[in-house]
Amino acid sequence: MTEEAFDRDTGEILSTRAADGSRLPPPSATFADTIRLLNDGQFDLDASAELRELVTKIADHADNAKGVAKGSIAIKLDIKMMNGAHVVTPSLKIVAPTPDQPGTLLFSDDEGRLSRNRPDQGVFFGTRVVADNSARDTRTV
């Protein structure tokens, strides 16, 4: 059984006490309060650590990418009602910046096949075989 103290003017709950007299935390009033409740506060700590790691990765990537980089964190809360109680299961989705990959310039023919050579131009040099020079004598100078 709980004992509640009310503000007589506003009707607002001032504090809630358990049967043993110890104070109970108030219900969450904001989204942030709810996040702090999840997994006894561990989700908040884990998400905060992931945020710091992502910010560091973005800063490192921006240094190598002309000052521009982006990432994202999405928090998902699955909420299920079971036996009169809400079961809230949190999850994080983190998207960190990735290094730009160099592209390969290719041309397509009329049939949609890709090639390194333009199909409407001639080619001066074909594929060459490089000789195996591993059997060659080496000299130390």
Sequence letter at residue 2:
T
Per-residue pLDDT, 88: 97
Q: What global pTM score does this model have? A: 0.59
Per-residue pLDDT, 19: 79
Per-residue pLDDT, 31: 95
Distance CA 42, CA 54 (A): 18
pLDDT in tens for each of the 141 residues of the chain?
444 555 566 665 655 677 787 877 788 899 999 999 999 999 999 999 999 999 999 999 888 778 889 999 999 999 999 999 999 999 999 999 987 778 888 999 889 899 888 888 776 677 777 777 666 666 676
The dihedral of CA 49, 50, 52, 53: what is its sign?
positive
